[in-house]
Structures are given as C-alpha cells and as structure tokens.
C-alpha cells in the first residue's frame, strides 16, 4: 500500500515538473472536428487517446460541437500525430 502511495506521489511530482516545463514550451492550438462520436464515452476516449501523445498538453472535447480543442508543444508534436491518435481511438477527423 505504501509503495503504491509512493508511486502515486512520484507521478504527481513528475506531473508538476511537466507542467513547469510546459510554461516555457512553445504552445500551439488546434481544433479538430471529429466524426463518429455517438455517446458521452466517445469524446472521453478521444481525449484520453490524444492526451497520450507526447507533447500534448491539453485536450478538451465538446460533444455538442463535435470538436476537440488541443493544446500542444509544437516542438514535440504536430497535427498529424494528434489526428493519428483520434483515429487510433476509433474516430475520424472531419476535413
Ligand atoms: Cu460512445
């Protein structure tokens, strides 16, 4: 149990470090139109998948508008990789 706690703490610390470096990183924003969302779980799944992309700082899905707003470090990732993550989650990026 204590080990799990320690691990959780170190995760929090590394997250803090990440958000610190994010403040100095180059930020870019992208809004994708996603098709294929049929329930509330779909946007959540898409967000989770996109957030796993290295360099993505934030992913905010809007189920009603069918959009996904992504904030990312454009030195670490780009629209292509982000779109790939959407596809990987099982959805399509509408052009
Ligand atoms: Cu769904």
pLDDT profile of the chain (95 residues), mean per 10:
60 54 75 97 98 98 97 97 98 92
Question: 43 alpha carbon to ligand 1 midpoint, in Å?
Answer: 7
Question: 2 alpha carbon to ligand 1 midpoint, in Å?
Answer: 36
**Contact (CB, 8 A) for 14 and 74:** no
**Contact (CB, 8 A) for 78 and 32:** no
Which of 3.30.70.120, 3.40.190.10, 3.30.420.140, 3.30.70.100 is the CATH number of 26-94? 3.30.70.100
C-alpha–C-alpha distance, residues 50 and 10, integer Å: 23
pLDDT, residue 95, reads 79
Question: 42 alpha carbon to ligand 1 midpoint, in Å?
Answer: 4
Domain ranges of the chain: 26-94
Give per-residue pLDDT as tens, 52-71.
Answer: 999 999 999 999 999 999 99
Token pair in block for residue 46? 């898409």
Q: In what order do the strands lie in the sheet with 56-62?
A: 56-62, 67-73, 27-35, 92-94
* pTM greater than the 0.95 cutoff: no
Question: 57 alpha carbon to ligand 1 midpoint, in Å?
Answer: 23
Question: 91 alpha carbon to ligand 1 midpoint, in Å?
Answer: 10
């Amino acid at each position: 149990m204590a080990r799990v706690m320690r691990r959780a703490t170190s995760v929090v610390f590394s997250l803090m470090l990440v958000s610190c470096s994010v403040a100095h990183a180059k930020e870019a924003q992208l809004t994708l139109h996603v098709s294929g969302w049929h329930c509330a779980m779909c946007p959540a799944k898409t967000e989770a998948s996109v957030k796993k992309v290295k360099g993505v700082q934030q992913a905010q899905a809007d189920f009603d508008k069918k959009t996904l707003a992504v904030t990312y470090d454009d030195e670490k990732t780009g629209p292509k990789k982000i779109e790939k993550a959407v596809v990987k989650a099982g959805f399509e990026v509408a052009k």
